Structure 1
Amino acid sequence: MADSRKYVSEEDLKTHNKPGDLWISIQGKIYDVSQWSKDHPGGALPLLSLAGQDVTDAFVAYHPGTAWQYLDNFFTGYYLKDYSVSEASKDYRKLVTEFSKMELFEKNGHVVLYTLCSVAMLFVVSVYGVLCSESTWVHLCSGGLMGFLWIQSGWIGHDSGHYKITKSPRFNRFVQVLTGNCLAGISIEWWKRNHNAHHIACNSLDFDPDLQHMPFFAVSSKLFNSIWSCFYDRKMNFDSATRFLISYQHWTFYPVMCLARINLFAQSFLLLFSKRKVLYRRQEFFGLLVFWIWYPLLVSCLPNWGERIMFVVASFSVTGIQHVQFCLNHFSSRVYVGPPRANDWFGKQTSGTLNISCPSWMDWFHGGLQFQIEHHLFPRLPRCHLRKISPFVMELCKKHNLPYDIASFWKANAMTIDTLRAAALQARDFSNPVPKNLVWEAVNTHG
């Protein structure tokens, strides 16, 4: 019996990768998601980045089984010609199925409860130290505790952005806004937009926002070509000022991380004031307003400007630990230029990611990022299960000759600094000239 199906080739599929014309393939069936991109819960960016490809692995990673029933609404009637699945993808999908049967994606454990309790305790103790003590040292410690509060609230925000941390969607949203916007001053919608793009295009220099830190940092000399940021929709200029800053980035890394939160505050407002579509825009603004009322008010309760500055610097510096943690997992890993390739999903996620080795009693400190490879492959999996599934992922990587990089926290720091130093030395190479300014020339004059 003749096959009555209509087929499109991979080359034809690749042409449907522009706004207003977005086609994707899932298990060989072609779907038109051009209009759906406007309402996609994960935002339009993931669809824009992966359009024109078979995205089965990415779909499996990010969507529960209930999502499959909605796909027929977007089916074009076409099938992908010569559709095939790699052995690595087959084994990956089997693991997803096995974890689903074990209900691991639905079991959150008690991590969320413990973290929320720790956040509440840190908040009460920090506020009590400011209001009920006259000791400068207590005020300093209170600022540090505020930083730890922001770290733990960050883990809650991270978890809630990937999966439902509570059974009630409304309570889940309430926890997101409370821990992200109200307590930490960071828009949870900004974070989800940024983080979704990072996961989809892990370690792509022009698609992954987590590697786009010009003019302060560059993890690869490929960024010296002033490439276009597909996330920020602008050119990342490698000019003389940027060259100067990057030339010393291995020295400025930790000081900048101590103040990195300022950038997150700014990015949150930039998104909310932009013309981009933002879900719950009013809620987001209200949450940020709550933060910018209680935090400055708390700081103003300190007896003098010296202690107020000390409190702010302490809280920012301690939470800088988390910003360092975000960098350790990817800065020293392999990078590439160009859009993510969905047919190499497993390999790209493992090659661009570094795990951090630590004992189980330190899991609270890393918030799930110590199993970054497992998290990137199974982003919907609650962090309490990441240690459990680690041996399966390690075995799968070994079977398919894929990297499974892991290092201690201190070794990962050394690897990150080495990466930054290598790029810094390349930035100082005068055989690749850029327009210089007086500051650059003055600092680098010899003789």
Structure 2
Amino acid sequence: MDSEAPATAPAPAKRYFTWDEVAKRSGSEEERWLVIERKVYDISEFTHRHPGGSRVINHYAGQDATDPFMAFHIDKGLVRKYMNSLLIGELSPEQPSFEPTKNKELMDEFRELRATVERMGLMKANHVFFLLYLLHILLLDVAAWLTLWFFGTSLVPFLLCAVLLSTVQTQAGWLQHDFGHLSVFSTSTWNHLLHHFVIGHLKGAPASWWNHLHFQHHAKPNCFLKDPDISMHPSFFALGKILSVEDLAWMMTFYARIFLTYVPFLGLKGVLGLFFMVRFLESIWFVWVTQMNHIPMHIDYDRNMDWVSTQLRATCNVHRSAFNDWFSGHLNFQIEHHLFPTMPRHNYYKVAPLVQSLCAKHGIEYQSKPLLSAFADIIYSLKESGQLWLDAYLHQ
């Protein structure tokens, strides 16, 4: 008697969706979808396991996330493998690749530009540049200690030491930013390791806390409820929710190093005074640099615009110079940094002319200003905001 061939299970039918169906899965706690390269993914359960945090991926729920996906990940092939379990279908053939709110021609040309940038090798880092940058931070750190060793603890050496340590802290802040954006090494592991060292051991701050907040800013810059940089976030709450044991270990090495290094010179009260003075000076430096590239720029709720328009509405540049590049950690090229967040900073100036040409072709303002003009804009913005508060609450 002939045996029958075993029946083969039919392949599951491919599911197709429209943009309207995807958009409906944007804010529900039960179901959240997003689209990457026309494929539809159900991220409802995955958000809490997302390495970059649940909020940043939720910001694109109900939307096309192709461009942020390309912008934030350096090993896209590996990430796509993990995404297969989330795949539920794709857009119907008659559906356009872009949502109606987005400029198709602009996005096509930007993706061509990104491919050109990758062919030019502009996404590859010069490791010598970053090594020398780290060494100059460590030398300034040693110089601060030597200042007290040779000149004592009188007022002038104390202030000089504070200035040197403030410079160390700020420049280490720019360097940890490079590692946090995965822009130095070709693998995430090495970037994460050095990120923990620089932000934890040299600055005493948690890496995971920075990542979870900063990538939200890049995903939806200057968008209410989505960009933490324009929202109120009590730091103790954020730390309590996200801080890891690994972060605590790195931070403890920072505080131990500071106290063991400077207590023999200054005593406990002197070290505390030095620490708070350094944090004060560093915070002023940090705030001026970060604000000059984002204020006064357009602030609004998320309008689900295309990647280029979203980033250009929220950023501007400060003119290139050796001092401006060093002073801001090359974040004077804020436009290029937001469009290509994993690009090594020493290549920003090379891609800037290409970005300017793209903006000029599509009538998008590419704003670049002198350093002092950028500082003046901050003052003007504060004055304008203060007047609004006066009008609203004091009726003046």
Name the TM tier (shorter chain): 0.7 to 0.9
Q: Sequence identity of aligned pairs in percent?
A: 25
Q: Give CA-to-partner distance per residue, 1:211-268, whole Å, 9 cap, x none.
A: 225xxxxxxxxxxxxxxxxxx4xxxxxxxxxxxxxxxxxxxxxxxxxxxxxxxxx83x
Alignment correspondent of 2:224: 205
Q: TM-score, normalised by structure 2?
A: 0.86
Partners of 1:21 and 1:156 in 2: CA distance: 38
Equivalent of residue 142 in structure 1, options 161, 164, 189: 161
Structure 1 pair 285–415 and aligned structure 2 pair: CA distance change class (3 A): same
Partners of 1:200 and 1:170 in 2: CA distance: 22
Partners of 1:304 and 1:379 in 2: CA distance: 43
Q: CA deviation at 1:374?
A: 0.5
The answer as to whether partners of 1:202 and 1:352 remain within 8 angstroms in 2 is yes
Q: CA deviation at 1:59?
A: 1.6
Taking the TM superposition and a 5 Å limit, the aligned residue runs for 1:209-224 are 209-212=228-231
Q: Which amino acid letter does the alignment assign opposite residue 222 of structure 2?
A: N
The answer as to whether partners of 1:16 and 1:23 remain within 8 angstroms in 2 is yes
- The answer to whether the aligner puts 1:75 opposite 2:100 as a matched pair is no
Q: CA deviation at 1:313?
A: 4.8
Aligned residue-pair number: 373
Partners of 1:50 and 1:389 in 2: CA distance: 27
Alignment correspondent of 1:401: 363
Alignment correspondent of 1:222: none
- The answer to whether the aligner puts 1:91 opposite 2:138 as a matched pair is no
Partners of 1:193 and 1:420 in 2: CA distance: 28
Taking the TM superposition and a 5 Å limit, the aligned residue runs for 1:88-167 are 88-136=106-154, 137-166=156-185
Partners of 1:400 and 1:375 in 2: CA distance: 20
Taking the TM superposition and a 5 Å limit, the aligned residue runs for 1:1-400 are 6-17=15-26, 18-64=28-74, 65-66=76-77, 67-80=79-92, 82-85=95-98, 86-136=104-154, 137-166=156-185, 169-212=188-231, 232=233, 267=235, 270-274=237-241, 276=242, 281-303=244-266, 308=271, 311-319=274-282, 320-337=284-301, 339=302, 341=304, 343-360=305-322, 362-400=324-362
Which is further off, 286-295 or 92-101?
286-295
Q: Which amino acid letter does the alignment assign opposite residue 245 of structure 2?
A: R
Q: CA deviation at 1:364?
A: 2.1
Q: Give CA-to-partner distance per residue, 1:312-332, whole Å, 9 cap, x none.
A: 354224312122101111121
Q: Which amino acid letter does the alignment assign opposite residue 414 of structure 1?
A: A
The answer as to whether partners of 2:325 and 2:332 remain within 8 angstroms in 1 is yes
Partners of 2:216 and 2:25 in 1: CA distance: 20
The answer as to whether partners of 2:182 and 2:192 remain within 8 angstroms in 1 is no
Please list every run of 5 or more consecutive structure 2 residues that lacks an aligned counterpart in the other structure. 1-12, 99-103
Partners of 2:129 and 2:238 in 1: CA distance: 30
Q: CA deviation at 1:131?
A: 3.8
Partners of 2:180 and 2:256 in 1: CA distance: 25
Alignment correspondent of 2:10: none
What SS class does the counterpart of residue 306 from structure 2 fall into? helix
Partners of 1:272 and 1:422 in 2: CA distance: 33
Q: CA deviation at 1:445?
A: 11
Q: Give CA-to-partner distance per residue, 1:98-137, whole Å, 9 cap, x none.
A: 1222232233343211111011101111122234431521
Q: Give CA-to-partner distance per residue, 1:337-388, whole Å, 9 cap, x none.
A: 2x361x4221010011011113245422211211100110000111011000
Q: Which amino acid letter does the alignment assign opposite residue 301 of structure 1?
A: P
The answer as to whether partners of 1:127 and 1:142 remain within 8 angstroms in 2 is yes
Q: CA deviation at 1:298?
A: 4.1
Partners of 2:258 and 2:303 in 1: CA distance: 40
Structure index of larger Rg: 2
Structure 1 pair 100–163 and aligned structure 2 pair: CA distance change class (3 A): same
Q: Which amino acid letter does the alignment assign opposite residue 247 of structure 2?
A: E
Which is further off, 373-382 or 33-42?
33-42
The answer as to whether partners of 2:127 and 2:184 remain within 8 angstroms in 1 is no
Please list every run of 5 or more consecutive structure 1 residues that lacks an aligned counterpart in the other structure. 214-231, 233-265, 434-443
Partners of 1:167 and 1:59 in 2: CA distance: 17
Partners of 1:57 and 1:340 in 2: CA distance: 16
Structure 1 pair 87–117 and aligned structure 2 pair: CA distance change class (3 A): same
Alignment correspondent of 1:427: 389
Alignment correspondent of 1:416: 378
Which is further off, 349-358 or 129-138?
129-138
Structure 1 pair 132–381 and aligned structure 2 pair: CA distance change class (3 A): same
Q: CA deviation at 1:167?
A: 5.2
Partners of 1:48 and 1:72 in 2: CA distance: 18
Q: Which amino acid letter does the alignment assign opposite residue 97 of structure 1?
A: A
The answer as to whether partners of 1:199 and 1:376 remain within 8 angstroms in 2 is yes
Q: TM-score, normalised by structure 1?
A: 0.77
The answer as to whether partners of 1:354 and 1:404 remain within 8 angstroms in 2 is yes
Partners of 1:445 and 1:16 in 2: CA distance: 43
Partners of 1:169 and 1:207 in 2: CA distance: 25
Which is further off, 381-390 or 9-18?
9-18
Partners of 1:340 and 1:123 in 2: CA distance: 45
Partners of 1:366 and 1:14 in 2: CA distance: 39
Partners of 1:302 and 1:151 in 2: CA distance: 24
The answer as to whether partners of 1:6 and 1:77 remain within 8 angstroms in 2 is yes
What SS class does the counterpart of residue 88 from structure 2 fall into? strand
Q: CA deviation at 1:26?
A: 1.7
